[in-house]
Chain A
Amino acid sequence: MKTLISSFFQDVRLYRSLRFRIFLIVLLIGIIPVIIMRYMMVRGYESRAINQKISEVTNQSAIVAAHLARTDYFSDTSDIVINDELIQMSNLYDGRILVINDDFLIIKDTYGKSQGRYIVSSEVISCMNGSRNMSSRDEENRYLEITVPILDEKTGKVYGALVASASTDSIHDNEELLDRRARFIEVIIFIIVVMIATALSGTLLKPFDKVIKAVDSVKEGFDPGMESIEVPDYTETKDIMDAFHHLMSRMAEVDASREEFVANVSHELKTPLASMKVLSDSLIQSGDSVDAETYREFMQDIAAEVDRENKIINNLLSLVKLDGNKDTEIELEPHELSPMLQQLIKTLTPLAEKSGVELLYEEKLPVEADVDETKLSLAIMNLMENAIKYNKPGGWVKVTLDADLQFAVITVSDSGMGIPEESINKIYDRFYRVDKSHSREIGGTGLGLAITRNAILLHRGAIKAASIVGEGTTFTVKIPLRKDI
């Protein structure tokens, strides 16, 4: 049963609805005070009425008792005036009156039932001995019991006591009537509150319906123009719509950059193919007139284009692997960085010699860091390759290794042509080239820096480029020493 209820609260759509909650809140705020008010009103009436009745009956009894004390009723109970007075009072309060003398003997009972009996109840005894009024209430049988002493005002001599009962039926009847009326009002208020709550929960949430409708229309492919969907009714709906617009423009941006990327990729892949086409076409057209030497030369060029195509595709694949999605696996393990860099220099020395560039290595501190060696060496190799390629003959490339408390710092600086300031933020974009006219002769895929940046970011590191055109460029790479930092 308990789980049933809790599952109701967890699963039922109604309960989770804001509209329903607003309805419920308004309903409770409307109803609870009314219920409390009714309870307090009825209770308050009851205790007030009972207290009033007690004091009324006590006063009346005291008056009768004083009258009894002045007469010699105790020696002769046939006094018509007093008996009438007692009967009247008994009728007035719908109760019974007992007159008790100082022997605790009942000398008068308005019901005529208990005359001649002795009453030894604690109320009567303490009333007579303490000369004080006693009152109590029997809620179950609906009556009050009042005991007052009959005493001589001057001497204080106690002649006896007077016990009066008074029915509280009329009070209970009134209370019921009051309660019924209050309940009636309560029902009316309940109906009104339900109506108000229904109306409020409906109108208050209308703007959200608009929001849903707007978002739905975009979902279904209708493009109303970014700024035309406005729900200014509430700050909240305005914020939601602003956030939605923001999201939409971000998506548009992503869309545009993807289109550009696809265009770039197709262009880059087409370029080698076009070269191959030209080379092979000219061979076919020349027919038999081409000598074997030319054939070989042309075929070598075609092979070079195939290699380039292959390289572009491989780079694209590794870029996809590194592209910061969650599935990208990176295995961070402690590695000495110095041997890795030295190995890179060794690998690239032939290329450097071919370009007439001097390779320098400086190790300021031996550094050990948690890195994925393959990925990091790929990243640094790309930097070094670029530094060699975009250099001038007789230039230099310098690699330094250093560390501060938290980071390993690797810099790759060169004496190359440098990067113009307006381009420095775009160099990591795929297929971006600073100087498009030179790209053909220098080669490369245009993906190297994008791969480097992705690899560094996977290490939760940072890469920064500083450059002066004509003088050279310095890339600074920072990698956290420990992976859990």
Chain B
Amino acid sequence: MDRKYRSLKIKIITVLLGTMLFLCSCSRHGQEDKEILKIYSPDAGYSSIISEERKMVSADSADMTDILMEALSEAPSDGRGVAAITEDITPNGYRSEENRIVIDFPETYLDLDKTKEILIRASVVETLTQLPEVVSVAFLVDGKELTGGNGEPVGDMTADSFINNTGVELNSYERTNVTLYFTDINGTTLKRYDEDVVYNTNIAMEKFAVETLIGGPAGVNEQEAFPTLSPEAKLLSVTIKDRIAYANFDASVREKPYNVSEETALYSIVNTLTALPGIDQVQISVEGSTEGVFMEKLKLDELYERNDELIR
């Protein structure tokens, strides 16, 4: 009877999952039908890049590229800007390769002045790389690769290749000091290292600190500092609540490629996190679970506080 009940349960779950999957695919399909995309173009004075949101209706991505290329050769409807691809540089053609689009421009492209050229290039690349299947865009001129002022080929460009706003760019990185705890050659004590780092302000500081810890000591003499954790280890997430940091690692954190004691490894994480403001205790989980032990004996279901005894 028990078994019968279980099989029924499985059936119900299967049906539910199936329905959900179906619904998901439907809604994703619906989204693709009328996606809102930005069309980038130089502004009227060729002094910056502006964008206009447009509803794009298409079913499959090959069409989408055509629609975007078409949109790029039209001036924005509000009259603030000009078409990115003007008539005199109408491409000889373009082709979609895996994850990239290659556009072949006529020789007139080389006559553009530098400002115009970079704005056109940025507009085209930023517009096309919005498509999920387009990672990079390459420019050809008469079949030959486009070269920069120094004669070197420009190569593939991604959405990340262009900075539209200096302020945002300047803000997205910050130079700061993180305190990390590595170990010595014996792997039994912790050593404090203050590292001067530049980090992306979009990433939480605690995540950055742990990732830097996993990455191992940099810029310090390797005779003095040794990594405590496997470089394969991955921090899946870290959240802070009520001054407790909940750090979730993947299973590879249990690997021990170096001669490091379990205590040293665990407290390198705990001490690094509690060195940050607003964290007093650390709860470590592996693959989202706090059952069992960290490596051999230290239990995961405990809250760990800073340990100064290990520090030499």
Chain A interface size, under 10 / 10 to 19 / 20 to 34 / 35 or more: 35 or more
Which among A106, A125, A126, A129 has the highest number of chain B CB atoms within 10 Å? A125
User: Once the chains bind, are B167 and A136 in contact (CB under 8 Å)?
Assistant: yes
B114 close to chain A: CB less than 8 A: yes
Q: Which of A101, A111, A112, A123 contacts B166 (CB 8 A)?
A: A123
Over the window 101-126 of chain A, the binary record of Cβ atoms lying under 8 Å from chain B Cβ atoms (1 yes, 0 no) is 11111100001111011111111111
How many B residues, CB 8 Å from partner?
29
Expressed in whole angstroms, the Cα–Cα distance for A333 and B46 within the complex equals: 97
User: B residues 100-153 with Cβ under 8 Å of A?
Assistant: 114-115, 118-119, 121-122, 148-150
User: Once the chains bind, are A118 and B170 in contact (CB under 8 Å)?
Assistant: no
User: Once the chains bind, are A104 and B169 in contact (CB under 8 Å)?
Assistant: no
User: Once the chains bind, are A120 and B169 in contact (CB under 8 Å)?
Assistant: no
Residues of B within 8 A of A94 (CB): 175
A143 close to chain B: CB less than 8 A: yes
A115 to chain B minimum Cβ distance, whole angstroms, is 12
Closest to B201 in A: A141
Known A96-B175, A112-B198; contact A120-B170, beta-carbon cutoff 8 A: no
B44 close to chain A: CB less than 8 A: no
Residues of B within 8 A of A102 (CB): 114, 149
User: Once the chains bind, are A125 and B47 in contact (CB under 8 Å)?
Assistant: yes
Expressed in whole angstroms, the Cα–Cα distance for A103 and B175 within the complex equals: 27
B162 close to chain A: CB less than 8 A: yes
Expressed in whole angstroms, the Cα–Cα distance for A143 and B170 within the complex equals: 9
Expressed in whole angstroms, the Cα–Cα distance for A125 and B47 within the complex equals: 6
B307 close to chain A: CB less than 8 A: no
B308 close to chain A: CB less than 8 A: no
Expressed in whole angstroms, the Cα–Cα distance for A103 and B150 within the complex equals: 9
User: A residues 112-162 with Cβ under 8 Å of B?
Assistant: 112-114, 116-126, 128-129, 136, 138, 141, 143, 145, 147
User: Once the chains bind, are A126 and B149 in contact (CB under 8 Å)?
Assistant: no
Residues of B within 8 A of A112 (CB): 198
Known A113-B198, A145-B166, A147-B166; contact A118-B171, beta-carbon cutoff 8 A: no
Q: How many A-B residue pairs have CB under 8 A?
A: 87
Known A112-B198, A120-B162; contact A103-B115, beta-carbon cutoff 8 A: no
Residues of A within 8 A of B47 (CB): 122, 125-126, 129
User: Once the chains bind, are A165 and B163 in contact (CB under 8 Å)?
Assistant: no
B237 close to chain A: CB less than 8 A: no
User: Once the chains bind, are A121 and B166 in contact (CB under 8 Å)?
Assistant: yes
B164 close to chain A: CB less than 8 A: yes
Residues of B within 8 A of A138 (CB): 167, 170-171
User: Once the chains bind, are A75 and B161 in contact (CB under 8 Å)?
Assistant: no
Residues of A within 8 A of B121 (CB): 118
A231 close to chain B: CB less than 8 A: no
Q: Which of A75, A117, A126 contacts B160 (CB 8 A)?
A: A117
A227 to chain B minimum Cβ distance, whole angstroms, is 80
Q: Which of B49, B150, B173, B175 contacts A120 (CB 8 A)?
A: B49
User: Once the chains bind, are A120 and B171 in contact (CB under 8 Å)?
Assistant: no
Known A119-B163, A120-B162, A121-B48; contact A114-B169, beta-carbon cutoff 8 A: yes
Which among A74, A105, A118, A136 has the highest number of chain B CB atoms within 10 Å? A118
Closest to B172 in A: A113
Residues of A within 8 A of B161 (CB): 116-118
Closest to A91 in B: B175
Residues of A within 8 A of B49 (CB): 120
Residues of B within 8 A of A124 (CB): 166
Which among A75, A114, A120, A165 has the highest number of chain B CB atoms within 10 Å? A120
B25 close to chain A: CB less than 8 A: no
Expressed in whole angstroms, the Cα–Cα distance for A101 and B173 within the complex equals: 21
Closest to B175 in A: A111
A-B CB contact pairs (8 Å), 15 listed: A94-B175, A101-B149, A102-B114, A104-B115, A104-B118, A111-B175, A111-B198, A118-B162, A122-B47, A122-B48, A124-B166, A125-B46, A126-B47, A145-B170, A165-B170
Question: Which residues of chain A have a CB within 8 Å of any CB of chain B?
Answer: 74-75, 94-96, 101-106, 111-114, 116-126, 128-129, 136, 138, 141, 143, 145, 147, 163, 165
For the complex with contacts A104-B114, A116-B161, 9 further pairs of A-B residues with Cβ separation under 8 Å are A74-B150, A75-B150, A102-B114, A111-B198, A120-B48, A120-B122, A121-B166, A121-B169, A136-B167
